[in-house]
Chains A and B, each alone.
Chain A
Amino acid sequence: MKKSKRRNLIKGLLFIMPWLIGFTVFTVYPIAASFYFSLTEYHVTTPPKWVGFENYKKLFSDDLFIISLKNTLYYAAGLVPIGLFVGLFLALLLVQPLREIVFYRGIIYFPTIVPAYAFATIGIWFFHPYLGFINQILDFFGIPGPMWLSDEKWAKFTIILLSQWGAGGTALIYMAAIKDIPKELYEAAILDGANRFQMFWKITVPLISPATLYYLVTSTLAALQIFDLPQIMTGGGPANSTLSYVMYLYRHAFSYVNMGYASAMAWILFLISFVLTFIIFGSSKKWVYYFGSRR
């Protein structure tokens, strides 16, 4: 018995070997190395020079760092709830029994696989202050459109708005969750005289809460790492109003080759992500329901 157990251990480890090697080389080592780098001054060409917590101290008196952190929290505070609302709204529409529903699903899902670099390019033109589609339409109705990406006050919001073009992914997850709710629950509720609004809040919302948990975790982590859209659309401008955390980190790492400083930023981001994930998971016991006897 013991021998077969050991044989299984070896077999199991052999099967997971590709991941185990990748995990060691591309995860464990980099985590440790980046922490070490964060305590050094490191410009790649010369060996890292130990500076202790100097990089961390410098970061908190670095105005651009503070700006990029604030911008990123702004992105997250916009992207997560707005994305939730839009995704859920689309899902509620897309589960309705219409004959041509597959067509709508296809169209709304399609932008989620269009690469960010392509739709960033399209987005700049779409929101162009003078020649873009949006402002031409607004102009047609006699409404003066904002400067969108060229206005410090609007730029982040424009990026958040444009991101909703990819809400089809969230909608898909919610659709699957909604379809899984047993029909009998709604039938019983109707017998009890519940209206649609009550059914939505008392049946749909609690029963799709596992999907909401998944959404909150993944979208928060993604929002904290926002990079592609602001990098391509504005490069961080105007007046650093769209500069995101990872953009600033990228600049230090690969434009200034200031790896120690960038690694310190990476570790702070790591901590922020960890704390936020922890808060979301921690609170989930209070609001996530698993239907039936599962777990």
Chain B
Amino acid sequence: MRLGKRAKEMIRLNTVRILLIIVTFVYVLPFFWMISTSLKADQDLFLMPPKWFPIPPHWENYKQAIQYFPFFTYFKNSVIITSLSVLGTLLSSPMVAYGFSKIKWPGRDFFFYLMLSTMMLPFAVTMIPTFIIFKKLGLVNTLWPLIIPSFFGSPGSIFLIRQFFNTIPDDLIDAAKIDGATDWQIYWKIAIPLSKPVLTLVGLFQFIGSWNNYLGPLIYISDESKYPLALGLPTFLSRYGTHWNWMMAAATLSVIPIVIFFFFAQSYLIEGIKLTGLKE
């Protein structure tokens, strides 16, 4: 009986394993197809059945792609936008979160729920007047409209950090106050150092959000020299879309930074869900 139960469990787990291998395969396929295509000679693109493993690999597709696809310029712009946005959100969001968590003031909850409700607001509603503001400031066709808003905190990040601050015992803060520390000192010397995990997570989320933002750059940026990858790749697609091997070489180049990022961030992102309080 006991053995039977264990054997049953083994069968069940192996069924799960097979399903997972199939699913994983499906999730990897498009990447495989991308890389495989990026290394094919022009005439091999039309082969039936397709050559799965292009031998010899045609690395010159990458040289061709780079020639028409200034990857490093786009990459640089993406890096500028993303790193400044991460800086902005990390400077502003924890501060706001502290005001929503460790200081008791009348109206706090009202403002907090007001902030949460703005998360439901469709971007399209604020998009046009925000564009007009930046236009009047003469900042259209610069990277600034993509960076500046992050310095005012983002509701999602503020929410996450606040949840974390709420777990810091009040005794700790009261003790510091008795020692004569101001709220500002407590914020910098106690709250911030204790919150590294959630700050890392917030930084990573902002990184992904800025790096992947497409509509923002599409609205604000018209000079190709200021394009981030988000605009560079679709532009390349619309111009050289029939050269699928170059196209996929460019796509591979665009995905490589994400792979490297994922390699370092993976455990934070996947484990980080615990910090989001969504499990409540």
Q: A residues engaging B (CB < 8 A)?
A: 5, 8-9, 11-23, 25-27, 29-31, 33-34, 37, 44, 90, 93-94, 96-98, 101, 103-111, 113-126, 128, 131, 133, 136, 139-140, 165, 168, 172-173, 175-177, 179-180, 210-211, 214, 217, 221, 224-225, 227-228, 231-232, 246, 249-250, 253-254, 259, 262-263, 265-267, 269-270, 273-274, 277, 290, 294
Flag if A34 contacts B129 (CB, 8 Å): yes
**Chain A residue at smallest Cβ distance from B207:** A113
A142 to chain B, nearest CB (A): 12
Flag if A122 contacts B251 (CB, 8 Å): yes
Q: Which residue of B27, B128, B250 contacts A37 across the interface (Cβ within 8 Å)?
A: B128
Q: Which residue of A126, A217, A227, A274 contacts B215 across the interface (Cβ within 8 Å)?
A: A227
8 contacts between A and B (CB under 8 A): A9-B106, A11-B105, A30-B129, A90-B23, A98-B16, A116-B212, A123-B30, A254-B131
B41 to chain A, nearest CB (A): 14
B207 to chain A, nearest CB (A): 9
**Chain B residue at smallest Cβ distance from A215:** B278
Q: Which residue of A9, A34, A106 contacts B126 across the interface (Cβ within 8 Å)?
A: A34
Cα separation A271 to B190 with both chains bound (whole Å): 43
Near A by CB (< 8 A), chain B positions 24-43 give 24, 27-31, 33-34, 37
Flag if B49 contacts A18 (CB, 8 Å): no
| Residue of B34, B152, B262, B266 most packed against chain A (CB within 10 A) | B152
Flag if A176 contacts B279 (CB, 8 Å): yes
**Chain A residue at smallest Cβ distance from B21:** A104
Cα separation A16 to B107 with both chains bound (whole Å): 12
Q: Which residue of A109, A179, A269 contacts B124 across the interface (Cβ within 8 Å)?
A: A269
> In the complex, what residues of A have CB within 8 A of residue B123's CB?
225
Flag if B270 contacts A122 (CB, 8 Å): no
B83 close to A (CB within 8 Å): no
B111 close to A (CB within 8 Å): yes
Flag if B105 contacts A13 (CB, 8 Å): yes
Flag if A121 contacts B212 (CB, 8 Å): no
**Chain A residue at smallest Cβ distance from B46:** A131
Flag if B280 contacts A126 (CB, 8 Å): no
> In the complex, what residues of A have CB within 8 A of residue B250's CB?
121
Flag if B269 contacts A113 (CB, 8 Å): yes
The answer to whether residues A18 and B151 also contact, given A122-B30, A225-B122, A250-B215 and a CB cut-off of 8 A, is yes
Q: Which residue of A111, A122, A228, A246 contacts B248 across the interface (Cβ within 8 Å)?
A: A122
Q: Which residue of B30, B121, B126, B255 contacts A126 across the interface (Cβ within 8 Å)?
A: B30
Q: B residues engaging A (CB < 8 A)?
A: 13, 16-17, 19-20, 23-24, 27-31, 33-34, 37, 45-46, 48-50, 92, 95-96, 98-100, 103-108, 111, 114-115, 118, 120-133, 135, 149, 151-153, 155, 158, 183, 187, 208, 211-212, 214-215, 218-219, 229-231, 233-234, 237, 241, 244, 247-248, 250-251, 254-255, 258-259, 261-262, 266, 269-270, 273-274, 276, 278-280
> In the complex, what residues of B have CB within 8 A of residue A26's CB?
126, 130, 133, 149, 152
Flag if A269 contacts B122 (CB, 8 Å): yes
Cα separation A126 to B103 with both chains bound (whole Å): 53
B231 to chain A, nearest CB (A): 8
> In the complex, what residues of B have CB within 8 A of residue A11's CB?
99, 103, 105, 183
Cα separation A212 to B27 with both chains bound (whole Å): 23
B126 to chain A, nearest CB (A): 4
Kindly list 14 other residue pairs between chains A and B, CB separation below 8 angstroms, not including A114-B255, A121-B247.
A9-B105, A11-B99, A20-B111, A22-B151, A23-B114, A33-B129, A96-B20, A106-B270, A117-B212, A124-B237, A136-B48, A232-B214, A253-B127, A270-B124
Flag if A173 contacts B273 (CB, 8 Å): yes
Cα separation A128 to B245 with both chains bound (whole Å): 13
A17 to chain B, nearest CB (A): 8
Flag if B107 contacts A115 (CB, 8 Å): no
Flag if A270 contacts B33 (CB, 8 Å): no
The answer to whether residues A115 and B104 also contact, given A18-B96, A249-B124, A253-B128 and a CB cut-off of 8 A, is no
A91 to chain B, nearest CB (A): 11
B88 to chain A, nearest CB (A): 9
Flag if B122 contacts A116 (CB, 8 Å): no
Q: Which residue of A21, A29, A90, A107 contacts B152 across the interface (Cβ within 8 Å)?
A: A21
Flag if B214 contacts A117 (CB, 8 Å): yes
Flag if A19 contacts B126 (CB, 8 Å): no
Flag if A44 contacts B212 (CB, 8 Å): no
Q: Which residue of B37, B98, B259, B274 contacts A15 across the interface (Cβ within 8 Å)?
A: B98
Cα separation A214 to B51 with both chains bound (whole Å): 44
> In the complex, what residues of A have CB within 8 A of residue B231's CB?
117
> In the complex, what residues of A have CB within 8 A of residue B105's CB?
5, 8-9, 11-13
Cα separation A249 to B19 with both chains bound (whole Å): 42
Flag if B125 contacts A30 (CB, 8 Å): yes
Cα separation A104 to B19 with both chains bound (whole Å): 11
